[in-house]
Each structure stands twice: as C-alpha cells, then as structure tokens.
Amino acid sequence: MLEEIQQTEAASLAELASLSDAEALESWRQNYIGPRGKVKAFMPRLKDVPAADKPAVGQRLNALKSNLESAFESRKAALGSSAAAPPGPMIDLTEPGMIRAEAVARRHIITRVRDELVDVFSRMGFQVADGPELEDDEHNFVKLNIPPDHPAREPIDNFYVDDPRTAARPRMLRSQTSTVQIRTMERMVAERSGPPVKIVSPGRVYRPDTVDATHSFMFHQIEGLYIDRGVTMQDLKSTLLHFARAYFGPTADVRLRPSFFPFTEPSAEFDMKIRLRPEQPERWMELGGCGMVDPAVLQACGIDSEEWTGFAFGFGIERLAMGKYGIPDIRLLYQNDIRFLNQV
C-alpha cells in the first residue's frame, strides 16, 4: 500500500503541474483531495494493514494528504495571478497622451462673471465693498430716498422678515445692492476715512418675483459708487464706457437714456453696444440704472452735498452672464446640473 501511495502522489503531482485552467484544477481537486477523491479512498483500507505497519502507513497517508493540499494551493495561486495578468505589455505605448481629460472642478458662471467684473473695476480704481443680505428698510429704502408710500416698498414686492406695518425698523432681505452705497457712506463718515470713495459691490438680492426664464427670487447685482469733489455725469458715462471696452472689447459703446430712480438725480438707464460672442453682430443690451447721487442721499449719510458729488450705477450679473454665454433661461444657473455647468 505504501508503494501505491507513492505512485498516486507522483502521478497526481505530475498531473497538477500540467494543468493550466481553473476548471481542470477543480476536477483535479475532486479527483484527489475531495471527499470522494483518491486520498480519501485509501482511508478505509487502513484497517486491513497489519497492526505493526499501521503507524507508518497512517503517517504516509497523512503526508500524502497534506502534500497534495499544499501543492494544490500553490498551483491555484500561480494560475490565479497569471490569469489576472494578461499576456503582453499592459500599456499601449502608441496611444496618444491625455485621451481622457482629468475632471477638474470649475467656478460657477456667476462667480466667474462676478470676478471678471470686479477685476475690471479694480483696475479702474474701485475697491470692493460688502454689505449684509439681511438688511433693514432704513438701508434698503429710507436713506436711499425711497419714501414710505413708494410702490417699491410694498410687502408683496419684498421679502420682509418683520411686519413693515408694525416694526419700527423692519428687517428684510435686500432687494438691491444700492444698500451698500448707504453702508459705505455711513462707515466712511463714522471712520472719517472719506470721501472721496470709489467702490463696487457685487452680491445677492432678493425679490418675490414669479420664477420664469428671466426672473428669479434671488439674483445678483453689482453696484458702483464714486464720490469726490466735482464728479459729473461725464465721469459716469466715461467710466461706463471704459468698463464696456475693457470687458467687451475696443468697439463696445455706451448710451444713457433718461430715467428715474429715487436715489439719483438726474437718473438714467444705460445700454451697452457689445458683441456678446465672436460670431454675433454687435447689439445694444439694456444693462442697468445709474445717475448722479441725489443730494438727499448724501445728506442722509452725513455728507455735505455742497462739497461732494458722486455717481452710482447698478446692474444685474445674471443678465450679463446670460448674454455673454448665450444662456436662454435663468433657471439653468441655479439648478446645478453638471451637464449644463460643464458647457459654459
């Protein structure tokens, strides 16, 4: 029986070495070391072995079992790793580089346009000023010379946080960045740091408009304010023109149309003649409001309107961004659909 064991071992190991796939390996396992395998078949025959030889044959049988088991494991490991690694080079050296671009995060269009605007105005000497989005009617209306009965103050057109009929100084989400004009002038007077002052202030504003392709209850404006001795309407127009040319190219133009705002006198709306995209012709685009700061506004902030004059302007950032990037619907800007955001 010892000889038979010896032969079985030699034969099985030779066979194992010649196997090349998992299926053959499995049938080898069943044939030799499985529950109905050849090794197991030796066991019942042990009882026929003479008592004196039993220990030696028993040991040899155990050795056969463990030899075949460990040979099986190492063959399996060797086959497994060579199956995972296909033959031939892993890298196609003929493939052009950077076929798949890295997915790089980018800033939102509104953020980009805001930064571009701030950049252009900074080069013209404007500093960036900030103000709170949760405001009060003092800064959103009163000091901007918007009287108590003015339709712009209607509760239905504003996000009041306090009841405007009862609160002394009702809080609200600001409806325009013109609030930052007031904040800036107040701070400047308190700190005796000006005038002169020259600021732009980009930020969010809120109005309960019904959402459609061109309206949103939240959008962005950028406000400008320049106060100095002897500032005139001509300075306003040349600043806007300078801005238009810096941002849209050397052929851009500006026109003012007479208008009315409570906080400027005279007031105007301004259009820019711009080429939004290279393939398009230039066209006039209504951009925002502007004017000479009303003396009442200067006085409300403690600035002597006999000595100082100034201009202000404000326009919507979405409108500009939509024109510039050919975006047909304002809602696309807030839905955070990555397929849209990656296009622009």
Q: Of the candidates 295, 294, 291, which has an alpha carbon nearest to the alpha carbon of residue 256?
A: 291
- Rounded to a whole number of angstroms, the minimum distance from the CB of residue 134 to ligand DAH is 17
Q: Is 184 an interacting residue with respect to ligand DAH (CB under 6 A)?
A: no
**Per-residue binder mask for ligand DAH (CB under 6 A), 106-145, x = binder:** ----------------------------------------
Name the one range near ligand DAH by CB under 6 A: 32-40, 125-133, 185-193, 284-292: 284-292
Name the one range near ligand DAH by CB under 6 A: 21-29, 40-48, 114-122, 312-320: 312-320
Q: Which of 176, 184, 216, 239 binds ligand DAH (CB under 6 A)?
A: 176
Tokens of residue 173, six digits: 């989400």
- Report the alpha-carbon distance of residue 191 to residue 302 in Å, rounded: 12
**Per-residue binder mask for ligand DAH (CB under 6 A), 203-232, x = binder:** --------------------x---------
- Report the alpha-carbon distance of residue 324 to residue 276 in Å, rounded: 5
- Rounded to a whole number of angstroms, the minimum distance from the CB of residue 91 to ligand DAH is 59
- Contact call for residues 262 and 147 (beta carbons, < 8 A): yes
Q: Is 318 an interacting residue with respect to ligand DAH (CB under 6 A)?
A: no
Query: What is the sign of the dihedral through the CA atoms of 23, 25, 28 and 32?
Result: negative
- Rounded to a whole number of angstroms, the minimum distance from the CB of residue 199 to ligand DAH is 11
- Rounded to a whole number of angstroms, the minimum distance from the CB of residue 302 to ligand DAH is 19
- Report the alpha-carbon distance of residue 321 to residue 112 in Å, rounded: 9
Q: Is 310 an interacting residue with respect to ligand DAH (CB under 6 A)?
A: no
- Contact call for residues 271 and 257 (beta carbons, < 8 A): yes
Q: Which of 290, 301, 321, 330 binds ligand DAH (CB under 6 A)?
A: 290
Does residue 74 sit in helix, strand or coil? helix
Q: Is 178 an interacting residue with respect to ligand DAH (CB under 6 A)?
A: yes
Q: Is 195 an interacting residue with respect to ligand DAH (CB under 6 A)?
A: no
Q: How many residues bind ligand DAH (CB under 6 A)?
A: 12
Nearer to ligand DAH, 28 or 243 (CB): 243
Q: Is 288 an interacting residue with respect to ligand DAH (CB under 6 A)?
A: yes
Q: Which of 145, 201, 239, 264 binds ligand DAH (CB under 6 A)?
A: 264
Burial 165-200, CB ≥16 within 10 A → b, else e: eeeeebbbbbbbbbbbbbbbbbebeeeeebbebbbb
What residues from 9 to 68 belong to the interface with ligand DAH (CB under 6 A)? none
Tokens 């701070």 -> residue:
187
Name the one range near ligand DAH by CB under 6 A: 96-104, 125-133, 155-163, 308-316: 308-316
Does residue 176 sit in helix, strand or coil? coil
Nearer to ligand DAH, 68 or 290 (CB): 290
Q: Is 202 an interacting residue with respect to ligand DAH (CB under 6 A)?
A: no
Q: Of the candidates 198, 182, 202, which has an alpha carbon nearest to the alpha carbon of residue 190?
A: 182
Query: What is the sign of the dihedral through the CA atoms of 92, 96, 99 and 101?
Result: positive
Please enumerate in sequence order all residues whose Cβ is within 8 A of that of 219, keeping only pairs 6 or more positions apart, or say none: 204, 205, 207, 316, 317, 318, 330
Nearer to ligand DAH, 28 or 270 (CB): 270
Does residue 275 sit in helix, strand or coil? coil
Residue 151: asked if its preceding bond is cis (omega within 30°), the reply is: no
Nearer to ligand DAH, 24 or 241 (CB): 241
Residues that bind ligand DAH (CB under 6 A): 176, 178, 223, 261, 264, 288-291, 312-314
